[in-house]
Amino acid sequence: MAGGYGAPRRVEKRVSVTASDQTRASTEKQGFPPWLRFSLLTILLWGVWGALSKAVSNEIDAYLNQVLFTLGLIPLVAVVLRSHRLAGGRNRRRGIFYAFITGILGGTGNIAFFKSLTVGGQASVVVPLTAMSPLVTVLIALAVLREALSASQKVGLVLALAAIYLLSL
């Protein structure tokens, strides 16, 4: 994802389709399917965030930006706290541990991202560059988790390295 908490690479299938979901799905047949609308909304939200971060970085430093970003998460935490899906999980302690680590890494990444924008990086360059984070994810999967690369990932790997080179010129 962008900064912060992105789309999980792959979530475990644990959602049971309820009757109300099915009713909703049938009423939403016309136009964009719900998943596409949510995907486009994600593109919009993260895209606006990238430009907004640059606009703000012209006026405040990276550290204050990160503190204020944290304040912005509060309303979302308030929403999540009401979720009935906070209970359960196969190994809660381990899941929470990795979520916490994700937050520490994500927040530190944020500071570096804001720094890049403050010291003169253009949003139109820095955002596409940092959005290549799946490059690192794939390399770790390859090195540590011994996962095989798909053909498209191999092509993506080459393009990513070429992109970093071109953007460094």
* Least spacing, CB of residue 19 vs another protein, in Å: 15
Name residues contacting another protein, limited to 81-120 (CB under 8 A): 81, 83, 85-86, 88-92, 94-113, 115-117, 119-120
* Under rule CB under 8 A, residue 70 binds another protein: yes
**Backbone phi, psi, residue 109, to 5°:** -60, -40
* Under rule CB under 8 A, residue 142 binds another protein: no
* Under rule CB under 8 A, residue 10 binds another protein: yes
* Under rule CB under 8 A, residue 23 binds another protein: no
* Under rule CB under 8 A, residue 150 binds another protein: yes
What is the total count of residues that contact another protein (CB under 8 A)? 130
* Under rule CB under 8 A, residue 155 binds another protein: yes
* Under rule CB under 8 A, residue 32 binds another protein: no
* Under rule CB under 8 A, residue 22 binds another protein: no
Name residues contacting another protein, limited to 117-136 (CB under 8 A): 117, 119-136
